Amino acid sequence: MTRTLIIGAGITGAATAHLLAGKGHDVEIAEIGEELRVLGSGITLISPALRALDRLGVLDECMEHGYGVSEFTCLDIDGQELFTFPLPTLGDNMPGIVGMLRPTLHQILLDHALAAGAKVRTGIGPTSITNTEDGVQVTFTDGTEGSYDLVLGADGLNSTVRAMLFTQEKPVFREQGCLRAVVAKPAGLGDREHDFSGDPIAHPGFTITGPDSMYVYCNVPAADTSRPAQADLPRIMRDFLAPYGGVMNEVRESITDPEKVNYALYETIVTPKPWHQGRVALIGDAAHSTTPQLAAGGAMCLEDVVVLGEELDRAGSIPEALAAFTERRYERCKFVVDTSVQIAAWQLRPDTPGAEPEVVRENAFNVLAQPF
């Protein structure tokens, strides 16, 4: 039985544990957090994410807890429709986008991982990882150690595994952040993904998460990586949304509960190839972290998991499978990061000659709908 260590129990780690434990690996997860929980608000699952969730066998469950739409609509500062385009759908009865609460998605993946037999240790991370002739030796922050056949660094943007074995490169701060609030869906709001433009500073949108619920997000400039007090977030978000009218008036006034507003900063990294060394590989945000202008970061994480599973099934050895994994994933994930960063830069400087974020975004959705 393949002894597999997954470092990090985020969406990537949980999905990987579910898949590999289901394939018969003896899976152990080491999570640095004291408990297994994801903070955050909603998540937009674009069609490639849905396709990957389908291949992981959890799409129906996610659909039960989310809300699907198949059109993307761009609105002006007064909330008037500018144009609408259909979102690629990648399977029978599969919508173009599903919105759901992020902790719900995470819990579904974790539940599947645990049910498949994965064991989790919380409050620990690695202190050393050494490839040996026929395995990997890992020591942990609690003084324990273990031997594994396969080690996966699913430890996110500021990956320790990446720093230990791959590169000292640090994520780049993109001078932007995102405010997100879970709110009631306005009556009569169309079944679409909504994106607003017209203000040079704030770039908001809506993702519907249920018949009566949605989250509103707003990309805003961030001078540095400091964080406002949680209690101030509703007022700050309302202020950024103030230039927008129409349906935004009702939504803005409903943003009052600090516990329902989240602030995240945008940092990106594409780890140089290869993403594997011997029997150790990076996966998910540890390998590639993007800004969310295409809502594709999580989609790439879930595709990583599917591809890793396929390559482990196909290859003659674990190092060969990991080499094939890097080859299949690098360009596609880099495309997502580069395109998202380009849109983010145009949002920060809307007067840039040739800026055409809507065209680039629609094209990217079509590219990502291709097989991976």
Ligand X SMILES: Cc1cc2nc3c(=O)[nH]c(=O)nc-3n(C[C@H](O)[C@H](O)[C@H](O)COP(=O)(O)OP(=O)(O)OC[C@H]3O[C@@H](n4cnc5c(N)ncnc54)[C@H](O)[C@@H]3O)c2cc1C
Q: Which listed residue (43, 129, 151, 306) binds ligand X by CB under 6 A?
A: 43
Report the greatest alpha carbon distance in the chain.
64
Minimum Å distance from CB 156 to ligand X? Answer: 2
Q: Which listed residue (125, 234, 278, 357) binds ligand X by CB under 6 A?
A: 125
Q: Give the 3-state secondary structure of residue 372.
A: coil
Interaction residues for ligand X, span 305-334 (CB under 6 A): none
Instruction: Measure CA of the first residue to CA of the last residue in the chain; give whole Å.
Output: 28
- Spatial contact of 307 and 332, defined as CB atoms under 8 Å apart: no
Q: Is 48 in the site for ligand X (CB under 6 A)?
A: no
Minimum Å distance from CB 250 to ligand X? Answer: 23
Nearest to 65 by CA among 103, 93, 92: 103
Q: Which residue has the tokens 């029997």?
A: 279
Question: Total residues at the site for ligand X (CB under 6 A)?
Answer: 31
- From residue 344 to residue 363, what is the string marking binding to ligand X with x (rule CB under 6 A)? --------------------
Minimum Å distance from CB 316 to ligand X? Answer: 28
- From residue 152 to residue 171, what is the string marking binding to ligand X with x (rule CB under 6 A)? --xxxx--x-----------
**DSSP state, 271?**
P
313 Cβ neighbours under 8 A, 6+ residues apart:
23
- In angstroms, the Cα distances linking 120 to 6, 67, 96, 262 are 9, 30, 34, 27
Q: Is 264 in the site for ligand X (CB under 6 A)?
A: yes
Q: How far apart are CA 44 and CA 108, in angstroms?
A: 16
Q: Is 195 in the site for ligand X (CB under 6 A)?
A: no
Stretch that binds ligand X, among 30-38, 72-80, 110-118, 130-138 (CB under 6 A): 30-38
Q: How far apart are CA 240 and CA 29, in angstroms?
A: 40
Minimum Å distance from CB 275 to ligand X? Answer: 13
Q: Which C-beta is closer to ligand X: that of 249 or that of 263?
A: 263
Binding stretches for ligand X (CB under 6 A)? 7-13, 30-33, 43-44, 49, 125, 154-157, 160, 178, 264, 284-285, 292, 295-299, 301
